[in-house]
Structure 1
Amino acid sequence: MSKIEKQWISIEELAEYLGISAVTIRFWIRSGKDIPAVRIGRQWRFRISDIDEWIKSGKSNFS
């Protein structure tokens, strides 16, 4: 597992990683899309390895 997969990233960094807008990620969080995220204070954080698994599992409908 690489260093990037272990660290927590922001909504903006995740949007860049997935090639979508940050607005879409915020919508997924609000609509209960089951995206693997952790809220720390007022900020949402994501682990790349968790996101990759979420996509592979088919729960994201994102391919």
Structure 2
Amino acid sequence: MNTDVMTIREVAEYLKLTEKTAYRLAADGAIPGFKVGGAWRFRKGDIDDWIEARKLQSRKAGRTI
């Protein structure tokens, strides 16, 4: 089955983070996710959108006027 919903382990691997860091970011609401029966789940598209938004923020913060 091909699905775009990832587990905490999969999102940690995708973002090159430890699982502990992924849990902390999810619990803090820093990365988009949701719980199903107490387990975190993440839509790949939401994570990709989050990455793009972070890239834009970084570019804007790095600009000098």
Same fold (TM over 0.5): yes
- 2:12 aligned to 9, 12, 15, which one? 15
- 1:36 aligned to 32, 36, 48, which one? 32
Q: TM (normalized to structure 2)?
A: 0.71
Gaps of 5+ in 2: 59-65
Higher helix share: 2
State the Cα distance separating 1:16 from its structure 2 match: 0.9
* Aligned-residue RMSD, C-alpha: 2.2
Structure with greater contact order relative to length (CA < 8 Å, sep ≥ 6): 1
Q: Does the 8 A contact of 2:26 with 2:32 survive in 1?
A: no
Gaps of 5+ in 1: none
**Larger C-alpha radius of gyration, 1 or 2?**
2
Cα deviation digits, residues 11-44 of structure 1 (max 9, x gap):
00111111111100111123332x1101101101
Q: TM (normalized to structure 1)?
A: 0.73
